[in-house]
Amino acid sequence: MRLDGFGLFVKDMPTMIRFYRDVLEFDIKEEENSSNVYLEKDGTLFLLYRRSDFEKMTNRSFCYVDKINGHYEIALSVENYAAVDLAFEKVVSKGAIPILAPTTEPWGQRTCYVSDPEGNLIEIGSFKE
């Protein structure tokens, strides 16, 4: 098996599409009004699944985290420390929720965190000064 991509189960499909397309600049691969929307970032498939449609398909209910979700992160890298700071400012100005302002960690990574509209954590970082 090889990793092909990953997905999020979303409550508000239009809002989440706009966030990943317009704020984080993912490429959308199909119609926005479908149950499952395929996006791509740097060759990685990123899927948005409408929660209600997935539950109907599987004939079961699921539990979902509310507010900021600390179960995982989506990690994005940029070319250097300065780009971390610029990316943070850019995505926050476009609507990302700030979680951790850019900081240089003891292990040598400059990193920051934001969240999407449904509380999923996104890291933006670089190991290059």
SS3 75: strand
Quote the pLDDT of residue 4.
Answer: 86
In angstroms, how far is CA 38 from the centroid of its own chain? 13
Strand runs labelled E in 11-119: 27-28, 36-41, 44-50, 69-77, 97-104, 110-115
127 — pLDDT class (breaks 50, 70, 90) = very high
Q: Which two tokens stand for residue 82?
A: 């300065």
Domain boundary among 35, 58, 81: 58
- 15 and 54 share one domain: yes
What's the one-letter identity of residue 39? L
What CATH number does residue 111 fall under? 3.10.180.10
Domain for residue 64, yes or no?
no
- 52 and 10 share one domain: yes
- 52 and 73 share one domain: no
Query: Over pLDDT 70: what percentage of the chain?
Result: 99
- 86 and 107 share one domain: yes
Domain for residue 26, yes or no?
yes
- 52 and 91 share one domain: no
Which residue range forms the structural domain that includes residue 18? 5-58
Quote the pLDDT of residue 116.
Answer: 97
- 53 and 15 share one domain: yes
Q: Compute the mean pLDDT over every residue in the chain, rounded to the nearest whole number.
A: 94
